[in-house]
Structure 1
């Protein structure tokens, strides 16, 4: 059922794209994108509001043709034995990775004329493109549709401002069969802060119960919250994504990114990851990865 829901969301986003944007507008991701304020990105002020059903970037969009892993997860396991693989796969420790992410506003100006409801979709792919022995398979695909509510605020704090609060219903799955199927549902709370060239978002979540738990104790490994920290310096951007459990020291992950200009609108991207859960199939698997590629849209 969740896979069907994901497909419906993909079709909806495609219809929005072709009915409301020309292709040239969609892919015209200019250099000044990285210096947009948090308020501009989420249209928190009336001067930035552009109406509903316009497709725009959401989370970072990038392509890393080369990604190295210190220890490929060649035999995925789960704390639920029904979802532990009995077969070992000869994965390469070098693969390609890419992420696409878009959002569109569904409703504008609810709750005292200020709140907005957005539909977001993110897809992350890990591709064994150099592995001819496995016919260059996609090792893992993660699908992440969500409904997001954002409400603007202006709370001064340490020289900056908290600019929004909100929450989202988030579903994430890999669309695979037993024993490698993984999925979970969350209610994620949002709080966004900006201070000059710094943007910080704090996102704690509550995992919703699942009768057929494919990844028990996922919170123990990936964590119960995520914090994103982004800093813009001219045409350079540094951002990190950190997850961690509330009640223990072990667990969580950190992803460090550096985006830099190459030529014209083309920007390079270096990404370092360490910890658990780079993908859903790796939720309880720890590794270090390093990827090199190009970036199209950032925080």
Structure 2
């Protein structure tokens, strides 16, 4: 049997496009060019015809399907191993508009047990909680983002996002004061990110900017809030990613009375929170290390945080965190303390 007639049989069975079944040609620029699977079928038929090896159409199809899956898997694995941060961005783009998928922004975690060496008694001295708070409490964070553009806006691969992060501190072990949530920080933001063509050391880089509000929604004497405009620079290479984020605080009017609803709740917050944040992550085998730091070089006050995630089961990972300095929460922005926690994370950074 001739190759051409076998190719025609393939076409009749719906296995390859007619133009290639008849011409046996492949054009890389033709949008109708056959897939690797189609080419595998043609090659298998040719070899079988030349060697006289009788194979059924079904056996040839199974062979080519297996070969195609193996090659695709190898290519995907190679892509994922090159730049983990870039791979996360690509995965987020593919799933961002799926109806049942929520895209993570910052780390999502639950720490059933954290311990602080210094409780912020001063902030709560006018409340019923002042004498009953425990050094141990639970902490959790929920963070997601939503893309606001479906296709590119200005540059290839850029994006406009709405993000929301909630971080809560729960006095679950303080039975004497009815186990209250002593603090929840709400952090909505609108931001834009675009990749750049600058690739130092074979890395990937991106620039971004945004506007952010953060507040704790408390009554006047416990209220803390601020608004910021920020810029971002991203650097990612292989299994390492770095983000530098400087900001400018949007000024607020001074309060004439501490109980006023309007005005600045915390005019000295930058003395403790600084003017920038540096964060990063490094993945080694199945372990992911993270760090975050802030500093005000004028007041010499800042904050540092170290984290480690490790596999437990499926998507659930163990998470251990240690922090020291000012600003683990808004109510504690002027409180110098050390905190250590252990729990789980349901998303990673890389």
Matching of residue 198 in structure 1 with residue 240 in structure 2? yes
The alpha carbon displacement at 1:38 in A equals 2.2
CA contact (8 A) 1:154 1:161 kept: no
Aligned to 1:136: 179
CA contact (8 A) 1:69 1:290 kept: yes
CA contact (8 A) 1:260 1:267 kept: yes
Aligned to 1:296: 346
Aligned positions of 1:144-293 closer than 5 A: 144-157=187-200, 159-211=201-253, 212-245=263-296, 247-248=297-298, 250-293=300-343
Separation in 1, partners of 2:294, 2:196? 25
CA contact (8 A) 2:271 2:299 kept: no
Separation in 1, partners of 2:172, 2:82? 34
Structure with the bigger percentage of helix: 2
Separation in 2, partners of 1:34, 1:148? 28
Aligned positions of 1:44-193 closer than 5 A: 49-50=93-94, 53=97, 55-76=102-123, 86-87=126-127, 88-107=130-149, 108-157=151-200, 159-193=201-235
Cα displacement string for residues 154-183 of structure 1 (whole angstroms, at most 9, x for unaligned residues): 3122x2435210101111000011100011
CA contact (8 A) 1:187 1:205 kept: yes
The alpha carbon displacement at 1:52 in A equals 5.9
The alpha carbon displacement at 1:114 in A equals 4.1
TM score, norm. by length of structure 2: 0.68
For the pair shown, which has the larger CA radius of gyration, 1 or 2?
2
The alpha carbon displacement at 1:184 in A equals 0.4
Change (3 A) 1:262 1:34: farther
Separation in 2, partners of 1:208, 1:265? 39
Aligned to 1:16: none
Cα displacement string for residues 5-25 of structure 1 (whole angstroms, at most 9, x for unaligned residues): xxxxxxxxxxxxxxxxxxxxx
Separation in 2, partners of 1:258, 1:109? 35
Secondary structure, in 3 states, of the residue corresponding to 1:297?
coil
Unaligned runs of 5+ in 2: 1-79, 254-262
Unaligned runs of 5+ in 1: 1-32, 78-84
Cα displacement string for residues 195-235 of structure 1 (whole angstroms, at most 9, x for unaligned residues): 21110000000100112111112111011111111001121
Secondary structure, in 3 states, of the residue corresponding to 1:109?
coil
Secondary structure, in 3 states, of the residue corresponding to 2:87?
helix
Cα displacement string for residues 65-117 of structure 1 (whole angstroms, at most 9, x for unaligned residues): 0000000112228xxxxxxx645343100000000100110014111454210
Change (3 A) 1:76 1:204: same
CA contact (8 A) 1:276 1:282 kept: yes
The number of equivalent residue pairs is 255
Separation in 1, partners of 2:218, 2:154? 39
The alpha carbon displacement at 1:276 in A equals 0.1
Aligned to 2:17: none
Separation in 2, partners of 1:149, 1:207? 18
CA contact (8 A) 2:83 2:239 kept: no
Structure with the bigger percentage of strand: 1
CA contact (8 A) 1:162 1:191 kept: no
RMSD between aligned residues: 2.2
Separation in 1, partners of 2:103, 2:228? 23
TM score, norm. by length of structure 1: 0.79
Separation in 2, partners of 1:73, 1:147? 31
